[in-house]
Amino acid sequence: MNPEKVVFGFFIVLALTLNFGFFVGEIENPDHHNVWELFAVVVVNLIATVLKFGDRTQMGAVLLATSLVAMLQLVAAVLVWGITVHVTGTGLTPAVTSSIVSLTGGAMIANVVSVVLLVIETVMLKR
């Protein structure tokens, strides 16, 4: 067993599961979407993205692209949250919460693609 592959797979799957945990709930209800869970999603996705930089294959390029898409959407969600709560003082209205959750939903789709590609790559490996 290759420990590097275990860590790589662990962070890719953890990114998806944390993202799913944040996404689930009523889309307009801020009580269903915790800021610390969003923070964990961003950190784990960042780690998963960094781990994908070393792979020079075509599959590695696609995996990196999916991670970059997820990070872009997660950073946008964090910016929306931060600006509306701390800059404008508007707070988490149903409309703002819906925007944040929608952005994390897009990131979750990118994470699903990453996991599917990882499974495909694993199945195609020859012993």
- What range defines the domain where residue 91 resides? 3-124
The whole-number average pLDDT for the span 16-25 is 95
Residues 6+ apart with CB under 8 A from 81: 35, 38, 92, 96, 100
- The percent of residues in the chain predicted with pLDDT above 90, rounded, is 80
Q: Using the predicted structure, report yes or no on whether residue 127 has a pLDDT greater than 70.
A: no
Q: How many domains does the chain have?
A: 1
pLDDT tens by residue, 89-117: 888 999 999 999 999 999 999 999 999 99
Of 127, 123, 114, residue with least CA distance to 64: 114
The whole-number average pLDDT for the span 62-85 is 96
Q: What is the DSSP string of 50-82?
A: HHGGG--SHHHHHHHHHHHHHHHHHHHHHHHHH
CA distance 70 to 90: 26
pLDDT band at residue 2, thresholds of 50, 70 and 90?
Answer: confident
